[in-house]
């Protein structure tokens, strides 16, 4: 908290040691990151290509002549030995070359680029909303442990966890689009037509997504804060003369955030899954809607590439969380060396 | 006896158990009786308001909403039971294996679990559906597979704690093999924790199934399902908003009941008393 | 500025009912004086210390008075108490492993004490932290001030804790088992450090320990506690010459240091027969009655009055004379 170190000289030795430790930590986490990414691509490939079922046959129907099916298989890149096709696919992906959509006849990367302009702001907006809401509620509940405020917040969070996000979306549409007419019930005007309308179109979906996330997060924050408040160093801080509030902000919160950050990372996977559903409720042209449409059109190329992209996004987020973790907890930097 | 009395006095357990039993009863009852046939289409009785004959009114196909909700409970219960069974059997077996073998086997299983944990379950469901086509079975499979790592992690952590206890040490000293010890000592001791998790996973499975059905990736028509009721109600939300409300209440209540039941069970099995320091 | 504890009682709420952790405890600690409180774990030593600091756990009920500088600390509001905590009354805790915040540097944690009480600006507080670390005997303080607790050994952490407690030059230093978690070789260094710092700065010191040997050489007066009550009080040398309470004698005999030095051959450590009483169900009589070989019927029903054995030596025991007669230091 006191960033200014004054005139105290920096010791060169310790700085170098710290630098090495951080580097070793990053290297190890990066290796895990690559391994996980590899596993995700294999899983996707195996799920889509080795499982029984023939997308080409599904697209063309049971009555289609075998020759047509074979031709489509070739077009979809479903020919040849699996290993060869996997290497071919992953090799292209590594160079940033995505497949070409069967239904749109457009490179997948272009489809994705447009859709990300909806999904990324939506995910960030709802994560921010969820984190802010959960932090407030969780801290409030912990500070009022076992009192009325705590019971109310925990009851609300229990309710929030139980409500499916797509139903909450429908309720929000009912309340704010049908009855009050504050927001539209769906669709997206695009960013080119002004920032305000585009953002307004994302408000209800973000609230729907954030509510569930916040309900889960608030519980974790509450119990993490309660656990931390029992620690000896919190008593030490009080013994120094810090007020209960100052102790909460300066000593409890940062330590309590360590377990919360892990949950936040895992929550992000849920959040992305949630965007798939919520985008469809609000007819938002995002990644989730793209995937669903691709499935309905049996566009295997799009499904495969987008699924790997989403998985990669989740893995990247978890990697970032790992780094964040190390930034919060100095013990970790040393432990892994 | 004392456990039963303690359980009935525990508020969230009692409420959760009551709500859960209500929905289980509704699912069972719907097997033999519903007010109307939940799949019979009646074009003349479309979108009827609630009446003594149709308590919750009818949908755009003239079907009785209460009957569909009752029959939909069947679908939710079936999906929950099967998916949790898949996840529990697979996960507990892997977790016990990891705890019994340690070393690289444990490491491999846990890394795989970590990985699956970070992978959105709905994505696998989407992939399965893309190859195999939509359907309740694929949805169940996807939900089940993705609850495997949850059970595996929990089973391993709990089993590892039991492995260090004295009575296990004694059993090892008397020459019992790891599999016998797992069967006799470890599994019975972690069963209660697993049971608590199973109720929570049951709730999550119902939520996931509803979402998949809403997207058209779960139960296919004419099988009654809460998720699909909501997707069918959405286009009519301006004329007939209540159609989008009833099935949601059914989902939320069931999930809430199961969550309360799980919380209550956890408290009853492991009462954490307030620690005091001297 | 005298710290006077008058008829202090602390009652904790437990699942089994109210637990009387401290009952009717009184003592005074004048400016620059030192007092050691000795007793087994659970005898109420720590609760006494926390009561003085106003840091009792939630749900604890406290009675009596703790008078310092003319005001009753127990009646102060938390923010008023906060201005005294760390500034006038400081405390060193038992577990240096857990009593330091793992995610803040040592320097930040020491500087915080100064900043909270507006005794320095940031730069000055950091410079003071370095000086304090040097004073408590930590090598390379410029580097350590940037280090985190996990990078220090147990002894160094306790030194850092002491530096933190000393930062605002308090009038009273309470050290609760400051060496129990440390290696034996480090224990005496830390105790010596606390004693010399207290003398150097004219601080009053309250040293709390279960180990009579730890306390004896470092304090001018001793208070022996048992099951929440004070049972014997006196000037240290005077007391060791004439330990009167049967419990205090047992405590002395079971101390390992004496067992090894008093005889040429190692012998079995004597132990006190029986068990510490249950503080939830304990009655009004002498708490040691059930374990005492000199017990009389009245001991069981009423707590014995304090009696003076010397001007600086008091004991709360009905059979003090008989007990004293068999005492061989």
More confident residue, C118 or B243: C118
Which CATH number goes with the domain that contains A200? 1.10.3720.10
More confident residue, B278 or A115: A115
Distance from CA of B41 to the nearest CA of A (A): 25
Yes or no, beta carbons of B274 and C19 under 8 Å apart: no
Give the tens place of pLDDT for each residue, C55-77: 998 888 999 999 998 899 999 99
Q: What is the 3-state secondary structure (H, E, C) of chain A?
A: CCCCCCCCCCCHHHHHHHHHHHHHHHHHHHHHHHHHHHHHHHHHHHHHHHCCCCHHHHHHCCCCCHHHHHHHHHHCCCCCCHHHHHHHHHHHHHCCCCCECCCCCCEHHHHHHHHHHHHHHHHHHHHHHHHHHHHHHHHHHHHCCCCHHHHHHHHHHHHHHHCCHHHHHHHHHHHHHHHCCCCCCCCCCCHHHCHHHHHHHHHHHHHHHHHHHHHHHHHHHHHHHHHHHCCHHHHHHHHCCCCHHHHHHHHHHHHHHHHHHHHHHHHHHHHHHHHHHHHHHCCCCCHHHHHHHHHHCCCHHHHHHHHHHHHHHHHHHHHHHHHHHHHHCHHHHHHCC
Which chain A residue has the Cα nearest residue B204? A162
pLDDT band at B275 (very low <50, low <70, confident <90, very high): very low
**Could you identify the residue written with the tokens 């099967």?**
B82
Residues from B contacting C (CB-CB < 8 Å) are 273-274, 276-278
Give the tens place of pLDDT for each residue, B157-176: 888 888 888 888 888 888 88
| Residue C48 to residue B278: CA distance in whole angstroms | 10
Instruction: Write down the pLDDT at residue C64.
Output: 93
Of the listed ranges A103-107, B182-186, B198-202, C197-201, the one predicted with least confidence: A103-107
Residue A157 lies inside a defined structural domain of this protein: yes
- Residues of chain A numbered 233-272 and touching chain C (CB < 8 Å): 233, 235-244, 246, 250-251, 254-255, 258
Question: Of the CATH numbers 3.40.50.300, 3.40.50.720, 1.10.3720.10, 1.10.10.60, which one belongs to the domain with range B2-30+83-277?
Answer: 1.10.3720.10
Residue A36 lies inside a defined structural domain of this protein: no
Instruction: Write down the pLDDT at residue C220.
Output: 92
Which chain C residue has the Cα nearest residue B272? C15
Distance from CA of B132 to the nearest CA of C (A): 51
C46, C59, C82: best to mutate for the A interface, most A CBs within 10 A:
C82
From the CB of residue A1, how many other CB atoms can be counted at a distance below 10 Å?
A: 11
- From the list A47, A295, A315, the residue facing B118 with the nearest CB is A315
pLDDT band at B118 (very low <50, low <70, confident <90, very high): low
| Residue A302 to residue B154: CA distance in whole angstroms | 36
Of the listed ranges B94-98, B242-246, C137-141, C267-271, the one predicted with least confidence: C267-271
Q: Which residues of B touch A165 (CB under 8 A)?
A: 211
Is C68 within 8 Å of C53 (Cβ atoms)? Answer: no
Instruction: Write down the pLDDT at residue A333.
Output: 61
Instruction: State yes or no: ipTM above 0.90.
Output: no
What is the average pLDDT across C253-267?
55
What is the average pLDDT across A70-83?
76
Asked if A328 has any chain C CB less than 8 Å from its own CB, the reply is: yes
Element (H, E) at B169: helix B166-173
Yes or no, beta carbons of C99 and A233 under 8 Å apart: yes
Of the listed ranges A113-127, B12-26, B134-148, C245-259, the one predicted with least confidence: C245-259
Residue A310 lies inside a defined structural domain of this protein: yes
Give the tens place of pLDDT for each residue, C226-238: 989 999 999 998 8
- From the list A4, A240, A250, the residue facing C122 with the nearest CB is A4
Yes or no, beta carbons of A269 and B118 under 8 Å apart: yes
pLDDT band at B276 (very low <50, low <70, confident <90, very high): very low
Yes or no, beta carbons of B278 and C15 under 8 Å apart: no
Give the tens place of pLDDT for each residue, B69-82: 888 888 888 888 99
Yes or no, beta carbons of A276 and B126 under 8 Å apart: yes
pLDDT band at B95 (very low <50, low <70, confident <90, very high): very high
- From the list A5, A238, A331, the residue facing C102 with the nearest CB is A331
Instruction: Write down the pLDDT at residue C259.
Output: 43
Asked if C130 has any chain A CB less than 8 Å from its own CB, the reply is: yes
Asked if C116 has any chain A CB less than 8 Å from its own CB, the reply is: yes
User: Does residue B140 surpass a pLDDT of 90?
Assistant: no
Q: How many CB pairs under 8 A join A and B?
A: 137
Instruction: Write down the pLDDT at residue B88.
Output: 94
Residue A54 lies inside a defined structural domain of this protein: no
Instruction: Write down the pLDDT at residue A53.
Output: 61
CA-nearest of C103, C19, B32, B58 to A330 is: C103
Domain residue limits at A147: 111-336
| Residue C91 to residue A301: CA distance in whole angstroms | 67
Q: Which residues of B touch C19 (CB under 8 A)?
A: 276, 278
Range from A97-106, C110-119, C190-199 that averages highest in pLDDT: C110-119
Which subunits count as partners of chain C given 3+ CB pairs below 8 Å? A, B
Instruction: Write down the pLDDT at residue A50.
Output: 58
Instruction: Write down the pLDDT at residue B272.
Output: 43
Residue A76 lies inside a defined structural domain of this protein: no
Share of chain C above pLDDT 90, in %: 41
What is the average pLDDT across B215-242?
82
Yes or no, beta carbons of A273 and B245 under 8 Å apart: no
Residue A75 lies inside a defined structural domain of this protein: no
Arithmetic mean of pLDDT over chain C: 87
Residue A263 lies inside a defined structural domain of this protein: yes
pLDDT band at A17 (very low <50, low <70, confident <90, very high): low
Instruction: Write down the pLDDT at residue C106.
Output: 92
- Residues of chain C numbered 161-190 and touching chain A (CB < 8 Å): 161, 164-165, 168
Instruction: Write down the pLDDT at residue C256.
Output: 62
Q: How many folded domains does chain A comprise?
A: 1
Instruction: Write down the pLDDT at residue A52.
Output: 57
What is the average pLDDT across A160-186?
84
Of the listed ranges A181-185, B242-246, C265-269, the one predicted with least confidence: C265-269
């Amino acid at each position: 908290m006191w960033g200014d170190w004054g005139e105290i000289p920096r010791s060169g030795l310790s700085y170098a040691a710290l630098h090495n430790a951080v580097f070793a930590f990053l290297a190890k986490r990066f290796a895990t990151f690559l391994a996980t990414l590899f596993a995700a691509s294999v899983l996707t490939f195996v799920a889509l290509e080795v499982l029984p079922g023939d997308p080409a046959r599904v697209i063309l129907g049971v009555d289609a002549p075998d020759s047509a099916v074979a031709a489509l298989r070739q077009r979809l890149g479903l020919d040849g030995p699996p290993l060869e096709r996997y290497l071919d696919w992953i090799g292209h992906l590594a160079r940033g070359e995505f497949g070409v959509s069967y239904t749109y006849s457009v490179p997948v990367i272009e489809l994705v680029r447009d859709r990300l302009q909806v999904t990324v702001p939506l995910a960030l907006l709802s994560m921010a909303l969820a984190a802010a809401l959960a932090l407030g509620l969780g801290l409030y509940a912990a500070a009022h442990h076992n009192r009325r405020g705590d019971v109310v917040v925990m009851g609300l969070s229990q309710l929030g966890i139980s409500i499916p996000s797509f139903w909450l979306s429908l309720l929000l549409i009912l309340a704010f689009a049908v009855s009050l007419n504050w927001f539209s019930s769906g669709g997206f005007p695009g960013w080119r037509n002004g920032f305000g309308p585009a953002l307004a179109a994302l408000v209800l979906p973000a609230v729907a997504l954030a509510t569930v996330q916040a309900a889960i997060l608030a519980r974790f924050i509450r119990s993490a804060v309660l656990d931390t408040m029992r620690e000896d160093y919190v008593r030490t801080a009080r013994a120094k003369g810090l007020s209960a509030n100052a102790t909460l902000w300066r000593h409890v919160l940062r330590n309590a955030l360590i377990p919360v950050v892990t949950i936040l990372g895992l929550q992000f996977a849920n959040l992305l899954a949630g965007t798939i559903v919520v985008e469809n409720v609000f007819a938002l042209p995002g990644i989730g809607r793209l995937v669903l449409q691709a499935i309905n059109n049996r566009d295997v190329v799009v499904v495969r590439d987008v699924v790997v992209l989403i998985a990669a996004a989740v893995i990247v987020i978890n990697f970032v969380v790992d780094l964040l973790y190390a930034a919060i907890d100095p013990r970790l930097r040393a432990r892994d060396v | 006896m004392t456990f039963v009395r303690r359980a009935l006095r525990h508020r969230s357990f009692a409420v959760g158990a009551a709500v859960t039993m209500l929905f289980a009863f509704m699912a069972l009852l719907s097997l033999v009786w519903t007010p109307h046939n939940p799949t019979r289409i009646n074009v003349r009785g479309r979108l009827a308001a609630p009446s003594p004959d149709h308590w919750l009114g009818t949908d755009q196909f003239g079907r009785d909403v209460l009957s569909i909700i009752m029959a939909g409970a069947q679908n939710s219960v079936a999906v929950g039971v099967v998916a949790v069974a898949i996840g529990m059997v697979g996960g507990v077996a892997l977790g016990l294996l990891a705890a019994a073998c340690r070393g690289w086997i444990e490491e491999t299983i846990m890394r795989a679990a970590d990985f699956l944990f970070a992978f959105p379950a709905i994505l696998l469901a989407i992939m399965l559906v893309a190859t195999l086509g939509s359907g309740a079975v694929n949805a169940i499979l996807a939900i089940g597979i993705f609850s495997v790592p949850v059970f595996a992690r929990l089973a391993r952590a709990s089993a590892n704690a039991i492995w260090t206890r004295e009575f296990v040490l004694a059993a090892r000293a008397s020459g019992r093999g790891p599999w016998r010890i797992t069967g006799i000592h470890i599994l019975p001791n972690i069963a209660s924790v697993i049971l608590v998790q199973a109720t929570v996973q049951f709730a999550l499975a119902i939520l996931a199934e509803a979402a998949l059905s809403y997207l058209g990736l779960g139960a296919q028509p004419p099988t009654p399902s809460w998720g699909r009721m909501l997707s069918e109600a959405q286009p009519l939300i301006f004329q007939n908003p209540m159609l989008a409300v009833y099935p949601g209440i059914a989902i939320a209540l069931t999930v809430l009941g199961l969550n309360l039941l799980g919380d209550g069970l956890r408290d009853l099995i492991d009462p954490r008393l307030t620690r005091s320091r001297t | 500025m005298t710290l006077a504890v008058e008829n202090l009682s602390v009652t904790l709420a437990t699942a089994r009912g109210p637990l009387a952790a401290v009952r009717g405890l009184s003592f005074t600690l004048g400016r620059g004086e030192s007092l050691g409180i000795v007793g087994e774990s659970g005898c109420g030593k720590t609760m006494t210390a926390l009561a003085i600091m106003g840091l009792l756990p939630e749900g604890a009920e406290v009675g009596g008075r703790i008078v310092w500088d003319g005001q009753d600390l127990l009646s102060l509001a938390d923010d008023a108490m906060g201005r005294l905590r760390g500034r006038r009354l400081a405390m060193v805790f038992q577990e240096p492993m857990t009593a330091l915040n793992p995610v803040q540097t040592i320097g930040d944690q020491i500087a915080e004490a100064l900043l909270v009480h507006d005794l320095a600006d940031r730069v000055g507080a950091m410079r003071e932290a370095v000086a304090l670390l040097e004073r408590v005997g930590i090598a390379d303080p410029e580097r350590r001030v940037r280090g985190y607790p996990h990078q220090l050994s147990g002894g160094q952490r306790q030194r850092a804790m002491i530096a933190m407690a000393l930062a605002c030059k308090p009038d009273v230093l309470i050290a609760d088992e400051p060496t129990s978690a440390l290696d034996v070789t480090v224990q005496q260094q830390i105790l010596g450090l606390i004693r010399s710092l207290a003398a150097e700065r004219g601080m009053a010191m309250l040293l709390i320990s279960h180990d009579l040997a730890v306390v004896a050489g470092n304090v001018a007066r001793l208070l022996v506690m048992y099951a929440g009550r004070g049972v014997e009080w006196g000037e240290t040398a005077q007391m060791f010459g004439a330990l009167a309470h049967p419990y205090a004698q047992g405590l002395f005999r079971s101390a390992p240091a004496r067992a090894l030095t008093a005889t040429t051959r190692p012998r079995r450590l004597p132990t006190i027969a029986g068990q510490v009483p249950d503080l939830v169900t304990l009655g009004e009589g002498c708490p040691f009655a059930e374990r005492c070989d000199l017990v009389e019927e009245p001991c069981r029903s009423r707590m014995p009055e304090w009696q003076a054995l010397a001007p600086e030596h008091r004991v709360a025991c009905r059979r003090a004379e008989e007990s004293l007669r068999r005492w061989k230091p």
